[in-house]
Copies of this chain bind each other. A is one copy, B any other.
């Protein structure tokens, strides 16, 4: 088996990228957009199971996911792992590395993936030139802070079934924004990874899936999930707002 080089020097243009609306949803003139193409240095392919970056790696670049699915996770000194997020096409990872110039979490590809490598120096240089880009970078970081706030709410206050309902609703909503179904999805992560993200054991995740399935709210077959009663899920997540 021929080992593949990890980084490929394919020069790609944001200006012609079909993910631009997710990744760079800014109103630029096509002139400016040309200049912006230089944020992305290269593309990089990551095979399923490989790390895009690891805890301790020195930080140089942010990564825009072009396709594929990632998890990010932190580990305690005794080996316990916490999944801190799942990321899909159009989302940016690597922000954890900015503060100390090295990464403090692992980013693992849950399927074969491709990312745009954006050297952070380029991002900062262009941000000074384009206030719209500057604002966008700030929003991306702020969005991540707000997302983590709501995960803290899940972990601190919600029960197992509420967590899983919130998780499923969030996933389909993001997939729908990418043109996928609102009601069907194929999970890219195991029960254990879902459990790690949601602060529960894999058996509890499995039981919650089965419970939803018994109640006719979803159909589950291994990693395939069909949402039959989205309103019921919303009601579980948030008993008050939905009748």
- Measured CB to CB, the residues of A under 8 A from B are 74, 76-82, 84, 95-100, 104-105, 124, 127-129, 131, 134-135, 137-139, 141-146, 148-153, 155-158, 196-199, 238-241
Identify whether the interface residues of A are mostly helix, strand, loop, or mixed. Answer: helix
Query: Nearest B residue to A79 by beta-carbon distance?
Result: B240
Neighbour of A157 across the interface among B96, B105, B135, B199, CB < 8 A? B199
A238 nearest CB across to chain B (Å): 5
Query: How many copies of this chain does the complex contain?
Result: 2
- The residue in A79, A84, A239 that gathers the most chain B C-beta atoms within 10 A of its C-beta is A84
- Provide the residues of chain B in CB contact with A124, threshold 8 Å: 131, 134-135, 138
Could you jot down 6 A-B contacts, CB within 8 Å?
Answer: A78-B241, A79-B240, A96-B142, A99-B145, A100-B146, A148-B152
Instruction: Please measure, in the bound complex, the distance between the C-alpha atom of A110 and the C-alpha atom of B146, giving whole angstroms.
Output: 22
Q: Assuming the A-B contacts A82-B156, A238-B78, are A138 and B135 also in contact, with contact meaning beta carbons closer than 8 angstroms in the complex?
A: no
